[in-house]
Amino acid sequence: MSKKPFVSVVIPIFNGALFIARAVESVLAQTYKDFEIIIVDDGSTDDSRVVLTQFANQPFIRCLYQDNAGPAQARNLGIESALGEYIAFLDCDDFWFPEKLEAQVAMLRGNSHPVLVHSNYEVIASEGRIIQQAKAGQTRDAFHKAFSGGQAPLLSTTIISRILLEQVGKFDPNLWVSEDSDLILRLYERVPFECIEQTLVHKFQQIHGDSDIPYDKDTHQKNVLTSRERFLTCVQNRPTLNQEQLTALNREWSSFYIMKGGFQERQGRWAEARRQYLSAIAKEPFRLRGYTRFLRTFLMSPSNFEK
């Protein structure tokens, strides 16, 4: 590539053979053309590499490969390899409206200071039905967007300075989930967010099967739980949380303990599952789900007197 592009589009992929061509084609269809595409294969075990060969000879598309290390590390590799001044992210199972980059670049160039630009988006079920129209700019701040029922900036809608991403530390490679929320909260402390009140991204609500898991289910679930706990602990340690934010965070902790209790149930560890559900109840006493899960362990346990 003789000229450095203004935008580098980073697309991580893990077992996304069914979706990646559609995602790339949505970038190629952009009305704004000053971009490169960096696709990072995170150790896929399906036919993703075969599908990616169709893009191998295009000078503005680069395909990188790594052993499975999670989406955070895949995106970091894309950022580190990027030539563009700005980074736009796109998940392999989402795709963009044709005017997405043009609208965002215009907003970037219209600001005298660095900003993160994102947009509204729509969530689509696998059969094509629209199940949600997300108004991402209508919630007060990034914390409430992430935790209080508002819409956080969806990563596939965002565009941000590459230098700023490097300054905030990029994605936490130890997080296999919540890595996007973690980055968004760190960016919120450094740069204003500007939302284009226009739907510019299709987000697909995919139901992934066992083939999406790179190793056994238990290891995958442990990675998810460890990542979520790490993220929530980091948020808990923020020095400026007000009562409303703490209430929202407690709900997330409650959901985490319910998820962890479900994992213990599947292992047949009924006493440990009950302890997790009690933790969920302690974090959010008026939430019915923690109580129903706790009672269920007595119905499903081989012995109601398990030690």
Q: What domains lie within the chain, and their CATH numbers?
A: 7-205 (3.90.550.10), 212-300 (1.25.40)
Q: pLDDT exceeding 90 applies to what percent of the chain? A: 61
Mapped onto helix, strand or coil, the DSSP state of residue 10 is strand
* Residue range 193-207, pLDDT digits in tens: 899 999 999 998 765
Over residues 29-40, the mean pLDDT reads 98
Q: How many CA atoms lie within 13 A of 143 on its CB side?
A: 16
Residues 76, 37, 118, CA angle at the centre, nearest 5°?
70
Q: Is the pLDDT of residue 185 over 80?
A: yes
Over residues 270-275, the mean pLDDT reads 95
User: Token pair of 194, please?
Assistant: 């500007």
pLDDT score, position 211 = 45
**Residue 209 banded pLDDT, cuts 50, 70, 90:** very low
More confident of the two residues 224 and 97: 97
pLDDT score, position 307 = 44
Over residues 226-252, the mean pLDDT reads 85
Give every CB contact of residue 28 below 8 A, 6+ residues apart in sequence: none
3-state secondary structure 63-99: EEEECCCCHHHHHHHHHHHCCCCEEEECCCCCEECCC
CA-CA-CA-CA dihedral for 257, 258, 262, 265, to nearest 10 = 70
Of these ranges, 87-96, 207-216, 291-300, the one predicted with the greatest mean pLDDT is 87-96
User: Token pair of 266, please?
Assistant: 């599947």
Over residues 232-249, the mean pLDDT reads 83
Q: Is the pLDDT of residue 304 over 70?
A: no
Q: Is the pLDDT of residue 305 over 80?
A: no
d(CA 281, CA 288): 8
d(CA 293, CA 261): 8
Q: What is the DSSP letter of 277?
A: H
d(CA 183, CA 189): 10
pLDDT score, position 206 = 63
d(CA 56, CA 39): 10
pTM: 0.83
139: left (phi over 0), alpha (psi -120 to 50) or beta: beta
Over residues 113-135, the mean pLDDT reads 87
pLDDT score, position 148 = 47
Alpha carbon of residue 266 to chain centroid: 26
Alpha carbon of residue 200 to chain centroid: 17
pLDDT score, position 135 = 81
